[in-house]
Amino acid sequence: MDLIPTPDQVVAAAGNVAHAVLYGGLADLRPMPRTLIDDGELREVYHYRPARDVAEAGDPVLLVTPLAAPALCFDLRRDCSLVEHLVTQGRPTYLLEYGQVSFKNRALGVEHWVDEVLPEAIRTVHEHSGGRGVHLVGWSLGGIFALLTAADRQDLPIASLTVLGSPVDVRKVPLVAPVRPLLNLTQGKGAVTRAYRALGGVPVPLVNWAFTAASAQKVVTKPLAVITHLDDTDYLAQLEAVDRFRANMTAYPGRTFGQLYHRFVKGNALAGGSMEIGSRTVDLAAIRVPVLVFAGNTDGIAPLPAVRAVVPLLTGSRQVQFEIVPGGHLGMLTGRAARGTTWTTIDEWVDQWSAGVVPVVAKPARKAAAKKAPAKKAPVATKAAAAKATSTKKAPARKSSPAKKAAPAQAASASAIGSNPARRYGSSGSRALGQR
């Protein structure tokens, strides 16, 4: 709205205020229709119903929700929903969420998601979609879980992996850096550890407070933003939808939060490329599927350097593509600018790596974890050593090299990261990363 509003702006502003007061808001918050197809302990897998007069076709996309945040992140509001975007294109679309975390879940650790939740959800989607490869799309911690699962379980029918706003190097998160020296003083015996153990996790009010604190500047400037955008219906609707998102945070299980607190925040475990899950070490270099990485240009929770740190760790991936898109932590995924940036890039990526029906892989026994240990040695220092260390069992996966030749944009060198001549928006920021 102009400093001296025009008559049209005054009329639009008055209409928006009246609509908000009389009808409770401007945003269309109706959820996209969905059907529960599988569930378990903190695992709910949904299939979104096809749009009217649009037949489902192609490989399925499985949206992976982070802990504590609601699945509304993927279906924020009508006209600004990644789910709606995928469904109206006829893409088979699925969602993994976890339901309400309670005190009884306090003993569950990160391994529950890597060993049980994600593998079971991927198999369910694979079978429900007619045996097609599954494209994982994980936001924030959901992207971290997806990375760990893809690295640990190469038998799963994963076609590609997309991670959005997932900070791998926590040392490069400005919000955490100032308090890290204080955290290290306690050596795991401080007030934070005692608190989450006593509470059985991190309750919803604390999660809400943390998310609000991370975006404190936007909260403070919100009243001014509302006044200056009273004539912008789409802007005001987006604010309403984000407020609803923040009001629907969920809790963290106690043991999972403890692992994230000590290993990610204090120990910065994944910055080196590997992390202990249960009794084994999971190495990101073991990921073989193509990986698309997004960073938001104004993301304060997962800033660009913290997200970009995963790129050099994915040495085993067929292709790694890094993209910088407009928006903060939530905005990069489902902001108004995401419609023509993030979403179109995901469309191109899924189409590029769709391979149709893939062989059904038998579910391994739970005791097979010990047999997987030799395979974990595959990520080694040099490519020559890696070739020698590759077992005959992995030989078929190595035959994917022709696909490498067919994709000249492969990130074999840093200069290739994020380059796409057909991009519908500027990606010079991504390409510039390779020149540093």
Q: Domain-by-domain residue ranges, the chain?
A: 32-185+271-433
Q: Which residues, 6+ apart, have CB-to-CB distance to 124 below 8 Å?
A: 37, 38, 45
* Residue at 101: amino acid letter: V
- Using CA atoms of 307, 312, 317, 322 in order, give the dihedral in degrees to the nearest 10: 40
Q: For the chain of 436 residues, list the mean pLDDT of each consecutive stretch of 10.
A: 77 79 87 96 95 91 92 95 97 93 76 94 97 97 96 96 95 65 50 49 49 53 73 89 86 67 76 90 96 95 95 97 96 96 98 82 50 43 41 41 38 41 41 39
**CA-based angle 18:24:26, to the nearest 5?**
70
196 and 109 in contact (C-beta within 8 Å)?
Answer: no
As a whole number of angstroms, the distance between CA 404 and CA 305 comes to: 27
As a whole number of angstroms, the distance between CA 4 and CA 47 comes to: 49
Domain 32-185+271-433 class, CATH top level: alpha beta
What pLDDT, on a 0 to 100 scale, did the predictor assign at position 378?
42
Tokens 């005692």 — which residue? 194
What pLDDT, on a 0 to 100 scale, did the predictor assign at position 246?
86
**CA-based angle 324:61:280, to the nearest 5?**
80
* Residue at 26: amino acid letter: L
Q: Which residues, 6+ apart, have CB-to-CB distance to 371 below 8 Å?
A: none
Nearest to residue 288, comparing CAs of 313, 314, 317, 312? 317
What pLDDT, on a 0 to 100 scale, did the predictor assign at position 214?
52
What pLDDT, on a 0 to 100 scale, did the predictor assign at position 380?
39
What pLDDT, on a 0 to 100 scale, did the predictor assign at position 200?
46
* Residue at 235: amino acid letter: Y
**Helix (H, G, I), strand (E, B), or coil: what is residue 292?**
strand
Nearest to residue 270, comparing CAs of 340, 172, 355, 353? 172
**Helix (H, G, I), strand (E, B), or coil: what is residue 151?**
helix
